[in-house]
Structure 1
Amino acid sequence: MDVTLTAEAGHYYRYIVKLPRENLPQLPSSSLSREALRTGWADENKLGPKLILYGESCGGLVLERLPGEALNPQTAPKWLPQIAGLLRRFHSTKAAAFMERYDPIKSVRGYLDIIKANKTMPQADMRLIDGVLVNTGNKVKGHPWVPCHNDLHCQNIMLNNIPQGEDGNQVVAIDFEDCDLADPMWDLAYFTVNLGRENCPRTLMELYGVSKEEERRYRAYLPLAVAHCAAWAGMRGGDWLKHCGEMMVRLRTLLGKNSRTEGHRRGGN
């Protein structure tokens, strides 16, 4: 809900109000309580909008309405240096005591359980995703746990029209419900896939400044990020199944390319 309030003649203040809805079990008051804590942390560290008010009794949030617009895949290339900087600030900020460990592999397995129950995805697709989960898990063992957004896509990045630093239009994140401890390379890979750049990821890697070890994990997460998007859409069903199918095509393309790359590195054709 977008609300405009008049404080005095000629001065307007806009806020975002979030309320739990009984008909949406994925948005209970406990979910908004999580988001309130994490939005407060992001506000304190200048990573997101201000948390104006949290109503503990009703589970509602009141957030600052940023005077800007959400990022989109067409304008994103212009803002990649600022987005890489936002991610670096995110990943270097001190964690809050309430933060838990977020495991994207576990999340996708949860989606698959729902898909199996609802029969919204072909068995071959589910087997392929399951293989990606196993393979990724083997490749990213022992990764660091730092604060991550964990749902960073274009609609969760705002271009703030009020200059607040050298960047002019400040780039900030929104929607912090999943903001917990994870591998920073997961954030980077998930955003890369949202931009449709999983087959040409080097630009974002270079802007972020990844090490060789981080690059290895980053590339390992790219198939998982595509699988995550496919499984999420498959779980939603209905009109989302078309998007699920499109993401599965992208997953097979990426896996085929990775297979050829590995063969080349080992001296294959």
Structure 2
Amino acid sequence: MNAPLLQLRGLGVSYGAVQAVHGVELTVNEGEIVTVIGPNGAGKSSLLCAAMGLLRSSGTLALDGVIIARPSVEIMVARGVALVPERRELFGEMSVEDNLLLGGFWRWRKGERDHAARLREVFELFPRLCERRAQLASTLSGGERQMLAIGRALMARPRLLMLDEPSLGLAPLIVREVLQMVASLRELGVSVLLVEQNARAALQVADRGYVLEMGAVVLEGPAPDLLHDRRIIDTYLGIGKKKQPALARA
């Protein structure tokens, strides 16, 4: 059996004396979409930033079974991992096409000259970006900016794409469209680690899910099982008779 594409063991993140994430065990296998759901302040973004090497962490992180002793952005990018941050971090005064080309800069620096082919792939996935390729990024709608942020990350040809709250600030119809596109990334051979507060939308596209509360995993399993779990329904989906304060205390 192949080793997981990404494996976190006992991952912890602290901000001074405050421990934001502790003891997280998480795996993403090749070809999977895995989601991490939970309330605001649960440590979801800290988990992603630590996995990308943006934050110091304790525990171990392994890619393809190889432990990365000191994860850094440079190492993770070189090993085929990309992150789309919550704020998207686009260059508003640059065109859509130039933003995308910047996403492939690391490959260009290595001597890979396949940026034209990568652009075509992104434009096939997001036809709207092709229509707006000459527009400034600052003039795009919220949904289009999210598509651009994902497209820019794909220019680096990642094996694992980590997404931090891609539905944030988007209308429900646009959320569905963006997450359907995320689901289609399997066809490009891209695995996904998706952090989301919109539990229903995330579990509908994911293969497996983890529920994070107070920095710790309190529930995990196949996404369809979590979607129909009464604790998830009552706490996160808002259709139970009485919401429970937290799964950890259920």
User: Of Structure 1 and Structure 2, which has the larger fraction of its residues in strand?
Assistant: 2
Q: TM-score, normalised by structure 2?
A: 0.27
Q: TM-score, normalised by structure 1?
A: 0.26
Higher-RCO chain (CA-CA 8 Å, sequence separation at least 6): 2
| Structure (1 or 2) with the larger CA radius of gyration | 1
User: Of Structure 1 and Structure 2, which has the larger fraction of its residues in helix?
Assistant: 1
